[in-house]
Chain A
Amino acid sequence: MTRAKYSNIFYGYLFLLPYLILFCAFILLPLIYGLGLSLFQWEVLSNAPPRFIGLGNYREALGETYFWKALGATLRFVAMIVPSVVFGALLIALALNALPEKSGGFFKAAIFAPTIISISVAGILWRWFFSAEFGLFNAWLAPLGVKVPWITENRWAMKSVVLMTVWWTLGGPMVVLLAGLKQIPEQYYEAASIDGAGAMRRFFHITLPLLKPVLLFVIVMNIIGSFQVFGQTFMITRGGPELSTRVLVQYIYETAFASYRLGYGSAMSWLLFIVIAVFSILQFRLVRERE
């Protein structure tokens, strides 16, 4: 090897160095550290030194009602939000795609706009909308004599959070799906029309099969993201009423940063990670088997 080549390699690693330092310090190390922590009993408030307990934290979580309740709340949220967002986003993307070329920019921007609002602002706003007494929604419903306990009753609270989340997050999937629709060659539709295929047939035989990879990507990303829901419930319902909307990330947050049980919190976050991984793998498997 020539000297110049050695110096190139040296400079190359120099270019990588700043990023690698940050990557090791704030991603790789925390990953290993967190896994290690999950095997220790470490309760900062009790002043006791961390104690190795093997899988004790995991066993505790799996045997505890609060963990299952939080996992249940998370699953309920995921089960409601993913179909709502994906279906809504697909419907709007299809409508936008049916407009003449180069139009619809305003509609797209308007529907995307809520995604750039901070969750604390969005949360405050919707908490006010949902408020039973002074709330906007109940003020609008008052002439009908209806008063909805949006966030004060168990059977409504999670649905209200889902409603708000549809508004807040629909824009991203919509834009991705629209880009996917635009990639489908126009000729396919023309050929199908000449053959006398109606709108329904064209949708099920051209649009849906060709959109499938993008649609799958959107669904998987949405599931992964939805499992990590936190801000909405933290701001709007605070996990209530009766912990019916306390999702896993909120429970982990409270365990680690309010009760300072760091080992237990780490173990629960790994459990959440496992749940997410299992769901993503299952999803890809299912799709592959059908093909």
Chain B
Amino acid sequence: MKKIRLRLIQFFLLAAAVVFLTPIALIFLTSLKPDSEIIHFSGIFPRQWTLDNFREIFDTPEEIPIFRWLLNSVFISSAVTFLILLVNSMAAYALARLELPGRRGLFVVIIATLMIPGQILMIPVYLIINKLGLLNTPWALIIPAGAGAFGVFLLHQFFLGIPRSLEDAAIVDGCSIFGVYRHIVLPLSKPALSTLGIFTFLGSWNDFLSPLIFLDSVDKFTLPVGVALFQTSYAAEYGLTLAACVVCTAPALLAFVFFQRHIIKGIALTGLKE
């Protein structure tokens, strides 16, 4: 009886997994089909496998600067991740560890902004970015990202768990505050830093609303916005569009496959630690 129950549960989960994975598989499989097979659907797998769609999107850089978009995306996501890890970890360290007058109040103010929905900042941030002359540059997406409170919160909680005696010993040995941060706190925080790093990278890679607002010219686009452009200009050419989708999805999916434990554990933690 117990065995049958377990089999039923496994069957249910397998069915759910198939339902959730099929659309992702379809992005890849459909990008390898000729257009005629896409319009007249003839099965999930291509009858005639072809790389023509990929050849076409990579061979016409003037019309479809997909390589440019890929570079933009890689640069922006890497820079955002670097900035957040650096700036947020420094702030979290100061707030968690250093005896600063007013740090408690400051922490509360920073954490309170986690409740604010992002769209309320959309218009004023646009105007500030415009004032700074950064519209239509990658910096419009990179610099404001460093202000988010999520990373400060996550790292602050993690730093609190590091035994203080280690830091005290280093200070007795003549280590500076910066030395403690650089040589003790950061190396001990690798799990938290990598979780935050992966979240940040994926979030930035997939971000859609900010590039839509801050970028105008086609050669400045990131992949998600570039790919969305396809839908309007190449509406009938599903093959090309889906090949572009593959270019946008594959890096994120690879990162997910490599780091899924980190990612899933990180999500679980953010939900429970409240």
Contacts and interface: CB of A to CB of B under 8 A. Distances in A.
Contact of A22 (B87, B123, B208, B248): B87
Contacts of B39: 134
A265 B88 CA distance: 31
Contacts of B205: 118
Interface in A236-284: 249, 252-253, 256-257, 262, 265-266, 269-270, 272-273, 276
Contacts of B6: 98-100
B119 A249 contact: yes
Contact of A273 (B10, B120, B260): B120
Contacts of B152: 19
A208 to B, nearest CB: 17
A182 B253 CA distance: 27
Contacts of A28: 113
Contact of B12 (A30, A95, A121): A95
Given A125-B27, A272-B119, A33 B13 contact: no
B20 A111 contact: yes
Interface in A12-31: 12-13, 15-16, 18-20, 22-23, 25-31
B248 A120 contact: yes
Interface residues of B, number: 90
Interface in B99-119: 99-101, 106, 110, 113, 116-119
A176 interface: yes
Contacts of B267: 172, 175-176
Interface residues of A, number: 90
Interface in A192-231: 214, 217-218, 221, 224, 227-228, 230-231
A12 B206 contact: no
B120 A113 contact: no
B21 A228 contact: no
A126 B205 CA distance: 20
Nearest to A112: B264
A34 B120 CA distance: 7
A167 interface: yes
Interface stretch (B48-56, B59-67, B161-169, B221-229): B221-229
Question: Which 8 pairs show the lowest CB-CB distances between chains A and B?
Answer: A176-B271, A19-B91, A179-B268, A30-B124, A12-B98, A110-B17, A139-B41, A118-B206
17 contacts: A15-B90, A15-B93, A15-B98, A27-B149, A30-B125, A31-B120, A95-B9, A99-B13, A100-B6, A111-B20, A121-B245, A121-B249, A175-B264, A175-B268, A176-B270, A269-B123, A273-B120
Interface of A: 5, 8-9, 11-13, 15-16, 18-20, 22-23, 25-31, 33-34, 37, 92, 95-96, 98-100, 104, 106-114, 116-129, 134, 136, 139-140, 167, 170-172, 175-176, 178-180, 183, 214, 217-218, 221, 224, 227-228, 230-231, 235, 249, 252-253, 256-257, 262, 265-266, 269-270, 272-273, 276
